[in-house]
Amino acid sequence: MNKRIRELAKELRPQMVEFTQKVIQCPSLSGEEGQVAKLYAEECRKLCYDQVFTDDWGNVIGIVEGTEAGPVIMYNGHMDHVDIGDVSEWEGYDPYGGEVDVCEIENEMRNGFDFTECIHGRAAADVKAGIACQIYSGAILARLKKEGFPVKGSYMFTGVVLEEPAEQIGMITLLETLKEKNIQVSGVVSCEATGLKLYLGHRGRVEIQAEVQGVTSHGSAPWLGVNAVNKATKLIQAVEEKFQKEYLQDEKLGKSSIALTVINCSPGAMCIVPDRCTITFDRRLVPLESPEDAVKQIQEIADQIAEEDADFRAIIKVAAVPRKSYTGKEATLPNIKQGWKMEEDHPFVKAAAKALEELGEPVSYGYWDFGTDLAVICGKHKIPALGYSPMQELYCHRPVDKVRIDFMERALAGNVGIFYKLSDLKQDDFALM
């Protein structure tokens, strides 16, 4: 079985690479994923998936049905990507070119660099190469089934919308769609960047917004007003001082943190003292913390400042921005992600590791610095999950966005091997406490 999986991965490699170039050449910013969603659905149909459909929000679902009953294992990626930024920073590569060449790229051990064949372009590392691997892994299973090999359960690829804005609208609505169709997911494999490691968790996140209020006056007579920006600096300084000294630590996920990411004021005009200053904090949470705890901490700091300064007023809340899918569906959700972590000795993780070992792949573990949609899957719904993909974190969201083609072939085989081991698990093996 593993020999045949390797053979098919090698055989399908050129076709997979060509498809990856094609989807990189198709821009798909958040809310504009329609054309790439169409490409993903068409490729699933071409590769003989048994079911392919798109839901009301534009999420794409492709299913390869097994030859016998078993669990549904979902392989997931997001279809949107971040902006390309300044084109001059791309070292001569077209961000939407999908160019293939031999270049320097980080090695597997992350302690040096190799020269090997790569694909360049926005979302190569986050996550179009990973989605291509997942779709073509389904193709291998379809081929194996046709050749008479047994396939237990169902392999389901899903591509979701609106992941980059971080409210997880795509994943939330996808799970609603699957519930409506009575599709029960037993476990999930994400293709967020892992560099062929098994990733087992990340910190939570909440985006906290503080609106500091003042009173306008003419810029020539600032003593007649209350400058909201000046007042906001008190909050900024107090928050910075608190979190330099006080933070929680998780052995695997690292420490809690906070970063000021956005600040603006209004009216924001010449000769007018601003009466509003809005600050946004990116607060990262270890599993011991809740989003409610994080908001309460900032509120307590604001309350303390207000006790000492009668002119200080601030409203603290979780940020929420309206989002619109390419299908026209709209929603406004709080920007919250739950932290989550899988243990290495959990049956779900052990099965994935065993699959890689049997394919001759090294097994090692990691944890994301950034957040993923698995916060909904594992953090909220307690469905076991992990990350596995060919892309490397070093190249995500940067103008050196690229992916190793040799890693893609290995991940193609790895995905299939992992599916076989996961589909052999008993239902109790998927349970999370």
- Percent over 70 (pLDDT), the chain: 100
Domains of the chain, first to last: 2-202+339-430 (3.40.630.10), 204-323 (3.30.70.360)
The pLDDT tens digits for 296-337 are: 999 999 999 999 999 999 999 999 999 999 999 999 999 999
Q: Is the predicted pLDDT of residue 156 greater than 80, yes or no?
A: yes
Per-residue 3-state assignment (H helix, E strand, C coil) for the chain? CHHHHHHHHHHHHHHHHHHHHHHHCCCCECCCCHHHHHHHHHHHHHCCCCEEEECCCCCEEEEEECCEEEEEEEEEEECCECCCCCHHHCCCCCCCCCCEEEEEEECCCCCCEEEEEEEECCCHHHHHHHHHHHHHHHHHHHHHHHCCCCCEEEEEEEEECCCCCCCCHHHHHHHHHHHHCCCCEEEEEECCCCCCCEEEEECEEEEEEEEEECECCECCCHHHCECHHHHHHHHHHHHHHHHHHCCCEECCCEECEEEEEEEEEECCCCCECCCEEEEEEEEEECCCCCHHHHHHHHHHHHHHHHHHCCCCEEEEEECEEEEECCCCCEEEEECEECCEECCCCCHHHHHHHHHHHHCCCCCCEEEECCCCCHHHHHHHCCCCEEECCCCCHHHCCCCCCEEEHHHHHHHHHHHHHHHHHHHCCCHHHHCCC
State the amino acid at position 412 in one-letter form.
L
The pLDDT tens digits for 203-227 are: 999 999 999 999 999 999 999 999 9
Q: How confident is the model at residue 181 (pLDDT cuts 50, 70, 90)?
A: very high
The pLDDT tens digits for 354-380 are: 999 999 999 999 999 999 999 999 999
Nearest Cα residue to 155 out of 72, 76, 46: 72
The pLDDT tens digits for 241-256 are: 999 988 999 999 999 9
Structure confidence at residue 288 (pLDDT): 83
Say if pTM beats, i.e. exceeds, 0.85.
yes
Question: Region 233-247: what's the mean pLDDT?
Answer: 94
Q: How confident is the model at residue 287 (pLDDT cuts 50, 70, 90)?
A: confident
Structure confidence at residue 94 (pLDDT): 98
Question: Region 65-81: what's the mean pLDDT?
Answer: 98
Question: Region 189-193: what's the mean pLDDT?
Answer: 98
Q: Which residue has the higher pLDDT, 378 or 433?
A: 378
The pLDDT tens digits for 101-131 are: 999 999 999 999 999 999 999 999 999 999 9
d(CA 48, CA 38): 16
The pLDDT tens digits for 388-428 are: 999 999 999 999 999 999 999 999 999 999 999 999 999 99
Q: Is the predicted pLDDT of residue 433 greater than 80, yes or no?
A: no
Q: Is the predicted pLDDT of residue 96 greater than 80, yes or no?
A: yes
